[in-house]
Amino acid sequence: NFADAQVVCGNVAIPVHRCVLAAVSPFFDRAFKCSMKERAEATISIEAAEPAVLELLLSFLYTGRVESSLDDYASSLLPLAHRLEITDLVEHCGCVLSERLNADNVVSHVSILRPFCDDPAIRPYWDNISHQIQSDSVLIKTIMRHTHG
């Protein structure tokens, strides 16, 4: 009730409350405060995500709770959470990717984390993954097989 804005993803429009999103995300705070199109139209368009992933992110913003279903979407949530400056969720996604590292996903997890490896929220998880790879010959061989010259 009393939603005063919407977040649009594809053909899905999700009613939201500006004050809630602005309180937990510097991105939303700027979007709704500044003289951006988003302020005037009370609509933020997020096209770089699947609607289901965006709904999980918004649920996190409203509740502050990390639901177990978030973990299965960590690789999709991380870039979006980083873009929207949601540090707690960025850290959680980095932690999940680090903890779930194995030979089947090492290449994709490294690819997902690499763009954010210098971010202080991701750095500990990037370092952890680096150590895991260095100490596991299977992970090293897997990465070497996927390295293009």
Average pLDDT of the chain is 93
Helices (H), 42-136: 51-63, 68-71, 74-83, 87-99, 106-113, 123-134
Residue 136 has pLDDT above 70, yes or no: yes
* Single pTM value for the model: 0.90
For the chain, the 3-state helix, strand and coil shares in percent, each to the nearest 5, are 60, 10, 30
Confidence (pLDDT) at 119: 97
Burial class of residue 131, CB neighbours in 10 A (0-12, 13-18, 19+): exposed
pLDDT of 37 higher than 80 = no
35 pLDDT tier (thresholds 50, 70, 90): low
pLDDT digits (tens, 9 = 90+) for 49-95: 999 999 999 999 999 999 888 999 999 999 999 999 999 999 999 99
CA gap 128, 147 in Å, rounded = 20
Q: What pLDDT does 114 receive? A: 97
Distance CA 41, CA 123 (A): 37
pLDDT the model gives residue 135: 97
Q: What is the pLDDT of residue 32?
A: 87
Contact 125, 97 (CB under 8 A): yes
